[in-house]
Amino acid sequence: MTRLDDLLTQIDHSRIPRHVAIIMDGNGRWANLRGRPRSDGHAEGVTSVHRAVEFSSDMGIEYLTLYAFSTENWNRPQEEVDTLMHLIGWAIERELPELLRNNVRIHLIGDIDRIPDDARRRLRNSEQATAHCTGLRLLMCLSYSSRWEITEAARRLARRVSDGDLDPESISEQSIADNLATAGIPDPDLLIRTGGEQRISNFLLYQIAYSELYFTNTLWPDFDKVAYAEAIIDFQQRERRFGKTSAQVNNN
């Protein structure tokens, strides 16, 4: 029995997280450790994305949200930004046939207008081409930051108030959620960050209010199905109380 087979027997298939979000960190360090350019780490990271999508589909996870490029990442050296944009466009196009075969639907989350034309066209094409798919929903966060998203939501609500379409007193937590890029999508149950840092880096601040957080030192290119299965098993061992007592949760 392989280590993966062993872990798969430990997963409770009646308690799979509906929505998993991942901060895919550590590509640069993975390459550095091998004396290779950072771009090699990003390229290897694409293989990891492929694996994570496949495993999420196999596990019956409904939503997988991947943090691929943050608003702050625009401040990296131009050469790295260019390489990443090229890689993202190339990878999405290459993966499209298999995504379609696996019934995966792509959603783009973020300030997509900032993405260079060529990559943006390929990304939009993948979103349109998979719009009919009914399997895993893959949310790709690109040029995304949570403060950007919340600011946009505030602006949209304020516009409706000033137009007289919305009473400020009627704004609820749900109205905020409905104006985020993730409108209609349930909050993540499990948030994974690879690469050893224990921070959120401006990701889904509103949506992760009650997510289970899982930090691993494994660098993103090394995050394989074993590592993913371990994260799910760890998640399944936790008690989600949502403010209640343990006794209350267990009596339900």
CB of 118 vs ligand IPE, minimal distance in Å: 18
Please identify, using beta-carbon distances, which residue of 25 and 95 lies nearer to Mg ion.
25
Total of residues contacting Mg ion (CB under 5 A): 1
User: In the annotation, is 202 catalytic?
Assistant: no
Q: Does 70 bind ligand IPE (CB under 6 A)?
A: yes
What is the torsional sign of CA 81, 231, 199, 144? positive
User: 143: alpha, beta or left, given left = phi > 0 and alpha = psi -120 to 50?
Assistant: left
Closest approach of ligand IPE to the CB of residue 162, in Å: 34
Site for ligand IPE in 217-246 (CB under 6 A): 220
Does 223 help bind Mg ion (rule: CB under 5 A)? Answer: no
Return the one option of ligand IPE, Mg ion, none that residue 95 interacts with (CB less than 5 to 8 A, by type): none
79 binds ligand IPE (CB under 6 A): no
Q: Which helix (H) or strand (E) holds 138?
A: strand 137-144
Nearest to 108 by CA among 134, 129, 87: 129
Among 24, 25, 139, 143, binds Mg ion (CB under 5 A): 25
d(CA 121, CA 85): 12
Kindly report the backbone phi and psi dihedral angles of residue 207, in degrees, each rounded to the nearest multiple of 5, phi listed first. Answer: -80, -20
Tell which one of 11, 51, 73, 83 touches ligand IPE (CB under 6 A): 73
CA distance 123 to 154: 27
Of 73, 102, 125, 202, which is the active-site residue? 73
Determine if 102 is a binding residue for ligand IPE (CB under 6 A).
Answer: no
- DSSP class of residue 170? G
First-to-last CA distance in the chain? 37
* Interface with ligand IPE, residue 108, by CB under 6 A: no
Q: Which is nearer to ligand IPE, 73 or 175 (CB)?
A: 73
From candidates 20, 21, 43, 68, binder to ligand IPE by CB under 6 A: 68
Cα(154)–Cα(110) distance, integer angstroms: 15
Where do the DSSP E strands lie in 186-228? 190-193, 212-215
Describe the strand order of the beta sheet including 190-193 as a list of residue ranges.
Answer: 105-109, 137-144, 63-70, 19-23, 190-193, 212-215
For helices 38-59 and 78-101, what crossing angle results, to 10°?
A: 30
Among candidate residues 25, 27, 187, 189, the one labeled active-site is: 25
Candidates 8, 16, 19, 25; binder of ligand IPE (CB under 6 A) is 25
Side chain identity, residue 42: H
Q: Which is nearer to ligand IPE, 157 or 208 (CB)?
A: 208
Between 128 and 217, CB nearer to ligand IPE? 217
Concerning whether 117 is annotated as a catalytic residue, the answer is: no
Q: Compute the radius of gyration of the chain from its Cα atoms.
A: 19
Instruction: List residues near Mg ion by CB under 5 A.
Output: 25
Instruction: List residues near ligand IPE by CB under 6 A.
Output: 23-29, 67-70, 72-73, 84, 195, 197, 199, 201, 220
Query: Which positions are catalytic?
Result: 25, 73
